[in-house]
Structure 1
Amino acid sequence: MGGLIHQLLSVTALLAAVQLISGYSFDNCIEDPYSNATCFNCVNRKKKNMSTIIHDLPPSVINLTISMNEVGCIPNDSFVHLQELQYLRLDQNHLVTIDQFAFRTLHQLQSLNLSVNSITELNPSLFQDLHNLTFFSLANNKLKQLPLGIFSATPKLNTLIMRQNLLTNFSGIAESVSHLLNLRILDLCYNNLASLSHSNVSLPKSLTTLYICRNNLSTLGCEHSFLGFLKVLDLSDNFRLPTMAFQGVDLRHINYLRLRSTSVKVVAFLNISNVKAGAVDFSGTGLKNDSLLMELCKLLKKKVRWIKNLHLGMNGIEKLTNYTLYYCPKIKGALDLSRSELKSIGCLNFLNRQTDIRSFNAEHNHLTSLQSCKTQNMVLLNLEELSYRYNRILSVGPHAFCHIPNVRTLKLNINSIAYLDQEALKGLKRLETLRLDNNLLTDLFPETFEENSRLQNLNLRNNRVSVIFNKTFHSLSNLSVLDLGGNKITHIEPLGLDGLKNLSKLYLDGNNLKQIDSSHYHVFQDTLTVLDLQSNKISFLTENMESPFMNLSKLSDLKLDGQRPHGMTILPRTLFRGLYSLKFLYLTNNKIFYLAPDTFDDLTGLRFLTLDTCCVGVTQLQPGVFKNLRNLTALAAENMGIQNFSKEVFGNLTQLRKLQLNRNALQSMDVDALQSLPKLLYLDIRSLPLSCTCQNSLLQNWTRNNQNVQVVYLYNLPCQHNAKSNFYNFDTKVCYIDLGEYLFFSTAVVIFLFTVTPLLYVKLYWKLKYSYYVFRSWFSEQWRRLREEEENCKYDAFISYNSSDEQWVMDQLVPNMEGNASFKLCLHHRDFELGRDIVDNIVSAVYSSRKTICVVSRNFLQSEWCSLEIQLASYRLFDEHRDVLLLVFLEPISERQLSSYHRMRKVMLKKTYLQWPGSDCTDPVQAQELFWNQLHRAMRTGTRVIEGNVISKDCVTTKSEETEHFETSDENYYLLP
């Protein structure tokens, strides 16, 4: 009864523990832990059935992404339980068909993305419930036409993307969208439209942007006012579209028109069209030489006095002269000459009359060098942005930019610059952003940036710089971002970072630094917020050292992950001392052997910690290692080899919301530790070798029944030793039995038996042995016969003796007992039944005789069979209370020799015994006669136990009939009555 109560209490405690924490999981989706159950991603699950993917999502979902699956069809009412849905992505699946009522009840849906599928047709009633739809994309499908009236129920549609389909009928498209009074963007690029012909419909007046690039347009075929409301029109890559297609078409409201890769002759086009001259993008329109450019410029100048932007890229221009843009109207914005064939740009002399240009783009050309412009007389004071990216520039000469002194952004990245003259950047006193990344620079000198005091962002990533010399950046007191990542830096001289008083972000990742020198950071110790040291060669030889970050009081982001070649092996316990403002710490991809309990003690402001693959082998996290990280909200600890998940380790992470533990060595998890994380929203335990045993029964209940903590893909977690079984539903019925109690008592009994058995063996060996034989005989017919004959005994006495005393028995005992006194004796060599078990013979002899006479000698005491015989007789004496035992001592035996025969000593203290007179008696004949008289007298008594008289050692016997007692100097004796 007590055990049952204990089991009930255990089950009650289990249920109470489950109720303390609540959480949830989803079959094939992951919730954004910060979205409050409104944003879900169901990506790359390789599922074919839509209902299988989303059946368990809550009705509160607002943003849902179902991508990179194998779904081929969306059945009716697939999202009927998600009526709050506003943003739905179904791109990159295998969709072919969508049933008519697939989106029924999605009245709140605003954005629908069906791109990158294999959809061939749409049902006209598909969107009948999508009254709030504003964005729809069907890009990269196989749709051939739009059904009539498909958008009749979506009056709020703002953006429609139908690019990369097989559409051929523009008239049907125009009719489908004509009533969409809020439509602003229509993308029909990469289809098979041959014209823009239409019936008696018009595009909605709200439409401002129309993309019809990469079709088969050979004519526009539309009415005069059909495109009259457009502001952006892209007709590029319609190779057969002629100039005359624009005859009579109203383009006066166009602000940007792209005609790249068409058959349009731009000069003729401008002559027949009412488009604004500055609205046309002339990129890719065949303007290959100066004569064509000058002709265009003259025409433009006739139409306008100035233009904002002039796009001349992709025209194959190889050379620019001083007269190339001489006749163009004033350019007050950007000049684009990207993706041309320019091999030299000079000192921008061709802009001699375009001094108002603010941005110049010469990307993707064939420039090989930038010459010195120190002697250049022309100065472009208004130029603020210059880009030479994606060229083949090898060298930059001195004073290469002195003609553009006010430039603020200079992009020289993604070239092959191996030589940057020390005076190349002279004169750029207003430069704020300098891109020199992805070049071949090996050296930086103090003079290089001497006049760039306003520089705020300097990017030198992916060069070949190996040493930062003293005072290289001493002039850059306003620099806030310095990117030196991806170089070969092995050494920074003591004053190498001197002058960077306002540096906020320093990137040194991907270099060959072997140590962290705190002396480098003293200049910007009060301003640095981001320090990236990942993928260097940093290592430490001791756990105790002075922290190099001690004085970086405002550092909030520190990256130390992926140190080469094998990662950091020792993480000093004092490394992060003083980093009280640190919020993000990255230690991934290292080989740390041990994380000391006080490693993170000073990181009281830490919000995000990633330790993915940071340790080697199996990691035993020490209790208290996270004790001060009470503000931590996200912990990534994937593939760390973690074996223990306990409250002592994770219990102080009271603000933790996201915990990633996948690919670790955890076979079980302490539910108490999970309960100590009150703000936890997201738990990733994929690829853990969780055992499906009672050890994890509480964890299983917690993961299945909680309502706040999302356990990622819980229902797909397999059991460790049985991949066909799942962790969430392994059988736990047996776990509710309190096996611990049973094991405790079983163990206690076993230990008690192992303790008591030796004592019982010593104290009760013969009694137990006798009991065994009696019990065995009790079931046999022989036993029943012995019990029946007990009162009518066959013998007067059974003689128990050792074979060495047989001569005395045959010469003395038998003649005096059978011959002179007519007693019938039982002797084993004479009266035992042949072929019968010796034990059965002994038992039968004892119980078939009124008395048992034990002839005791030293040999008798050493005989196992004699011991059994006296045990049987003594049992009848003490347990059955029958006076059946007589002891005859053939020789004196001391008390010390009898000490181990406790049963016999008990008989001697309780019962009469006789001593055979030895040769030391004064009158042996008389003593022997007295001995036989005493023995005859004892044989004639009944089986009732009575106390006897005492006989002395000197063979003197009393004649009294009553019991008489006296003491000798050694021991007590008793006379027979």
Structure 2
Amino acid sequence: MATMFILALMAVFMCSLCDKHPVIESSDIIANYSYMSLTKVPTNLPPHTTVLDLSHNYIQKLETTDFGYLLDLKVLIMSHNQITEIDSKVFDSNNYLEHLDLSNNWLENISSIFPGHLRHLDISSNNFTTLSVCRYLTNLLRLEYLGLGAANILKSDLESVSHLRLQHVFIDLNGLYEYENSSLLVLNTNCLHLSSLSKQKYLFNVLFDAVNTSKLLELSNFGKWEAGKVQDEYISAIVNNSRVTHLTMRNFGLLWTNLVHILQKIWYSSLESLHLYNFTIQGLIYKMQFDYSNTSMKELLIEHVAIEVFIFNQMHLYRLFSEMNIKNLTINNGNLLFMACPLKSSSFEYIDFSNNAITDDVFQNCLTLTKLKTLKLAGNKLQKLSKVSLMTESMTSLQYLDISRNLLDYNEEDCHWSPGIRKLRMVSCSLPNSVFQCLPKNVTMVNLRKNDISGVPLEITHLTNVEYLDLGYNRLSDLPDCTLFPRLMIITVEYNQFPYPSATSLKNCSGLEQINIGNNPFHCFCEIKKFIRERRKSPGKYIGWPDAYVCERPDDLKGVRLKDFYLPEMYCNVFIMVPVIVAPIIIGLFLIFGLCKYFDIPWFLKMAWQLARTKHRARKSKKGYQELKKDFSFHAFVSYSENDSSWVKNIMLPSIQSMDEIRICHHERNFTPGKSIVENIINCIDNSYKSIFVLSPHFVQSEWCHYELYFAHHKLYSENTDNLILILLEPIPQYLIPARYFKLKALMKQRTYLEWPKEKSKRALFWAHLRASIHINLSELEHLSSISDPNVPST
């Protein structure tokens, strides 16, 4: 167990140096037939295929004719099939084959089938009893990657490939039955990867040889180790005889006591870098002594760590890491809530705590991180930007800070950044425009992608050192004023909202070396031509040209690249357009407008149209009332605000009641004493043929007017009658209408209303229109009602 942990630490650089994936070039022709339930190799493959993926199928045999016509084949992936047999000449025609993956099949024996130009060969996870297949690999002098696996690993079998200078050797130990000591030592490789060792019987022997085989070691899928005492002599023997400098471990678990014990032993070994992935800490966590002196360790990376115990003193865990005298510490995706400030001057130069649950209380008032140069806290729970800045104030050597993917809030408080910060990354933080007031004054590179920025404040004067500014994926409507950043060389504003960069902004940013304005909703009209001309003057200045610069409007040009956009000069040159097209049109419009204004034609047309519609509705409503079974006592009920009572009493009522046959229900005259106001309102509306509402700003402020409108609106829909008349006494701005008046807003949008004209000459037509809207013979209605209902006596 101890050895496993040690070995895991050293595989830090293995990921970059021991990549087992094929290198795909842009010119390759790829044929992907994976996961298609194939039982044999297809015969209709494109003849010039260079990359062929037949993994995860049910192919059982590879025959000589399967790949004979694929003369350009470079990469062949046959993993996860059911292959039991391969013809010896199956790859004779594939002179360019470099990458062959036959892992996870059912092979038991392989004859001499491998072409000598192979660079990558993986035959792991098959049914080999021994590694005698290595005898057929002696001619693969260009081989760089070799994947193996067998039930019995013997030294004599691996000696067949000991002369090959391999970059990476992968050995699957799943189902290992026998291991001969010193077998791994014969391998000549820069990187060794052991996987799935389930039997602890061979753990010590395998690890003892592994740590002496290569400086780069990776251990994966070793599972969870049960609680028990780790023998100190085993740990010491492995550590003392190790030549591993970089160790990686994946998918394993370890008791807390064993973890600390093993880590203490490793601290004095040759190990410089330790990477742990999908690591589980088991058992009770408590305080343990640890000596950090005299170590070669420089880097520790832990990603996706899980703790099986929920109740423990978290400071015991944090202290183990905070006091480490290493340069680089990374803990990602570990549900880390906090990290203790080192008790003494720390040697940390690089800290990455991304994708955890850390708040902005971390490292507050911490004076011991003076050597820290890089700090990454992306994807945590930081909240106050000003508090984050205060956290860095004592980190005098800090140069790079990443606090992306935190929901940061900034309310223009004072910010106190470390004076050394040069690069600041705040992507996806929902930051507003005011964030520029809080940026470090010495910063040179700022990344503010995916925020809520719509512009750069013009009062910003302290950002004189900014050289690179990324404002992609925001809400900018134009390029920012580049004069605010006198040293700016590169700016990115892709995926924003401006239709074209203005001439002023282009002029202000003319001194930049590179600009990325691609993927904006460009409006391909005359204004965009100035930008196109500017780009022609500096062909290499605009990043992404021409594919990322595409028209969004008008619709008929959507998808057209700006490079291909053309608009005749006549449409954009006012000196050409005015005499030819615009002048006659303007003259005609002015003439029509003058005549209409002089005779006030629009108003008279509007009122005539409304009057015609009113009479038409009156005729229809007369027929409709044959279906009503009630009598009306009034022609209309009038609703108004007390502030408008003077107009109603002195102007409106005398004008429409001048005809004796029109009866108006007025609350001062017709409300029944002793009844509630609401009951009086309902009765008056119910006994009136129409309801007149005098609208004004005072109306929308009256609570009783609201009730009256509500009941009238209800009657409109419940009885399906056209009983509402709206008179707009004074204009009502939309913002003055309270939210509860949603019915009034809807009515004013859906129904025609009468406007009280200020000119006396128009008022006669207004009164005629109003009288026509409410005039009806009530006795005739009563007669129609009695006809429709024989039980009602005629009056």
TM-score, L = length of structure 1: 0.46
Matches for 1:351-362 after TM superposition, within 5 Å: 354-355=324-325, 357-362=326-331
Match of 1:335 among 300, 303, 310: 300
Distance in 2, matches of 1:318 and 1:236, equals 25
From the superposition, tell whether residues 116 and 466 of structure 1 become closer, same or farther in structure 2 (CA, over 3 Å): farther
From the superposition, tell whether residues 387 and 243 of structure 1 become closer, same or farther in structure 2 (CA, over 3 Å): farther
Partner of 1:483: 447
Match of 1:406 among 371, 376, 392: 371
Match of 1:238 among 197, 200, 203: 197
Distance in 2, matches of 1:473 and 1:390, equals 23
Match of 1:221 among 176, 179, 188: 179
Partner of 2:159: 202
Match of 1:366 among 335, 344, 354: 335
Match of 1:186 among 128, 136, 146: 146
Deviation digits for residues 53-112 of structure 1 (CA, Å, limit 9, x no counterpart): xxxxxxxxx7432235879665789788x6xx9x53445696946541444487886x32
The 8 Å contact of residues 197 and 203 in structure 2, kept in 1 or not, is answered as no
Work out the number of aligned pairs and report it.
520
Aligned residues with identical type, % of pairs = 13
Q: Which amino acid is 1:202 matched to?
A: E
Distance in 2, matches of 1:256 and 1:609, equals 43
Partner of 2:51: 88
From the superposition, tell whether residues 378 and 370 of structure 1 become closer, same or farther in structure 2 (CA, over 3 Å): same
User: More relative contact order in 1 or in 2 (CA 8 Å, sep 6+)?
Assistant: 2
Are residues 1:549 and 2:498 paired? no
Partner of 1:296: 262
Deviation at 1:292, TM superposition (A): 2.1
Distance in 2, matches of 1:132 and 1:296, equals 47
Distance in 1, matches of 2:467 and 2:283, equals 42
From the superposition, tell whether residues 282 and 216 of structure 1 become closer, same or farther in structure 2 (CA, over 3 Å): closer
Partner of 1:471: 437
Distance in 2, matches of 1:621 and 1:158, equals 44
Matched residue SS, 1:410? strand
Distance in 2, matches of 1:124 and 1:645, equals 66
Matched residue SS, 2:300? strand
Deviation digits for residues 416-451 of structure 1 (CA, Å, limit 9, x no counterpart): 222341301113333333221111112286854632
Partner of 1:522: 483
From the superposition, tell whether residues 262 and 287 of structure 1 become closer, same or farther in structure 2 (CA, over 3 Å): same
Partner of 1:435: 402
Distance in 1, matches of 2:197 and 2:459, equals 59
Between stretches 313-322 and 122-131, larger displacement belongs to: 313-322
From the superposition, tell whether residues 292 and 559 of structure 1 become closer, same or farther in structure 2 (CA, over 3 Å): same
Distance in 2, matches of 1:66 and 1:320, equals 52
Deviation at 1:499, TM superposition (A): 1.0
Are residues 1:493 and 2:466 paired? no
Distance in 1, matches of 2:503 and 2:93, equals 66
Partner of 2:381: 416
The 8 Å contact of residues 456 and 480 in structure 2, kept in 1 or not, is answered as no
Partner of 1:559: 517
Distance in 1, matches of 2:264 and 2:171, equals 30
Deviation at 1:240, TM superposition (A): 3.5
Distance in 2, matches of 1:77 and 1:123, equals 20
Partner of 2:492: 531
Q: Which amino acid is 2:337 matched to?
A: T
Are residues 1:156 and 2:122 paired? no
Structure 1: which 5+ residue stretches go unaligned? 1-38, 42-61, 587-605, 630-634, 638-643, 647-977
The 8 Å contact of residues 33 and 54 in structure 2, kept in 1 or not, is answered as yes
Matched residue SS, 2:492? strand
The 8 Å contact of residues 204 and 234 in structure 2, kept in 1 or not, is answered as no
Q: Which amino acid is 1:209 matched to?
A: H
Deviation at 1:162, TM superposition (A): 4.2
Distance in 2, matches of 1:219 and 1:307, equals 30
Deviation at 1:522, TM superposition (A): 1.1
Matched residue SS, 2:153? coil
Between stretches 141-150 and 346-355, larger displacement belongs to: 346-355
The 8 Å contact of residues 217 and 244 in structure 2, kept in 1 or not, is answered as no
From the superposition, tell whether residues 324 and 138 of structure 1 become closer, same or farther in structure 2 (CA, over 3 Å): farther
Between stretches 418-427 and 68-77, larger displacement belongs to: 68-77
From the superposition, tell whether residues 446 and 550 of structure 1 become closer, same or farther in structure 2 (CA, over 3 Å): farther
Matched residue SS, 1:522? helix
The 8 Å contact of residues 444 and 465 in structure 1, kept in 2 or not, is answered as no
Q: Which amino acid is 2:205 matched to?
A: F
Deviation at 1:246, TM superposition (A): 1.7
The 8 Å contact of residues 421 and 440 in structure 2, kept in 1 or not, is answered as no
Deviation at 1:585, TM superposition (A): 6.1
From the superposition, tell whether residues 490 and 178 of structure 1 become closer, same or farther in structure 2 (CA, over 3 Å): same
Matched residue SS, 2:335? coil
Structure 2: which 5+ residue stretches go unaligned? 1-23, 308-312, 569-795
Are residues 1:615 and 2:572 paired? no
The 8 Å contact of residues 490 and 512 in structure 1, kept in 2 or not, is answered as yes
Distance in 1, matches of 2:292 and 2:25, equals 58
Matched residue SS, 1:486? coil
Distance in 1, matches of 2:176 and 2:559, equals 71
Distance in 2, matches of 1:516 and 1:318, equals 58
Are residues 1:512 and 2:475 paired? yes
Distance in 1, matches of 2:247 and 2:558, equals 67
The 8 Å contact of residues 210 and 232 in structure 1, kept in 2 or not, is answered as yes
Deviation at 1:204, TM superposition (A): 1.0
Distance in 1, matches of 2:366 and 2:468, equals 27
The 8 Å contact of residues 433 and 453 in structure 2, kept in 1 or not, is answered as yes
TM-score, L = length of structure 2: 0.55
Deviation digits for residues 203-244 of structure 1 (CA, Å, limit 9, x no counterpart): 51223532235x623445235334432443333443345445
From the superposition, tell whether residues 562 and 369 of structure 1 become closer, same or farther in structure 2 (CA, over 3 Å): farther
The 8 Å contact of residues 519 and 550 in structure 2, kept in 1 or not, is answered as no
The 8 Å contact of residues 525 and 552 in structure 1, kept in 2 or not, is answered as no
Q: Which amino acid is 1:516 matched to?
A: D
From the superposition, tell whether residues 354 and 416 of structure 1 become closer, same or farther in structure 2 (CA, over 3 Å): closer
The 8 Å contact of residues 330 and 354 in structure 1, kept in 2 or not, is answered as no
Matched residue SS, 1:423? helix
Q: Which amino acid is 1:617 matched to?
A: D
Matches for 1:52-71 after TM superposition, within 5 Å: 63-67=28-32
Deviation digits for residues 337-378 of structure 1 (CA, Å, limit 9, x no counterpart): 4433479569965368742x111112222222456x4xx651
Matches for 1:107-186 after TM superposition, within 5 Å: 111-115=74-78, 118=81, 120=83, 121-130=85-94, 133-138=97-102, 142-145=105-108, 147-151=110-114, 154-162=115-123, 166-186=126-146
Q: Which amino acid is 1:366 matched to?
A: N
From the superposition, tell whether residues 504 and 166 of structure 1 become closer, same or farther in structure 2 (CA, over 3 Å): same
Deviation digits for residues 805-849 of structure 1 (CA, Å, limit 9, x no counterpart): xxxxxxxxxxxxxxxxxxxxxxxxxxxxxxxxxxxxxxxxxxxxx
Distance in 2, matches of 1:167 and 1:497, equals 71
Deviation at 1:460, TM superposition (A): 0.9
From the superposition, tell whether residues 216 and 63 of structure 1 become closer, same or farther in structure 2 (CA, over 3 Å): same
Distance in 2, matches of 1:241 and 1:470, equals 59
Q: Which amino acid is 1:532 matched to?
A: V
The 8 Å contact of residues 350 and 372 in structure 2, kept in 1 or not, is answered as yes
From the superposition, tell whether residues 282 and 243 of structure 1 become closer, same or farther in structure 2 (CA, over 3 Å): farther
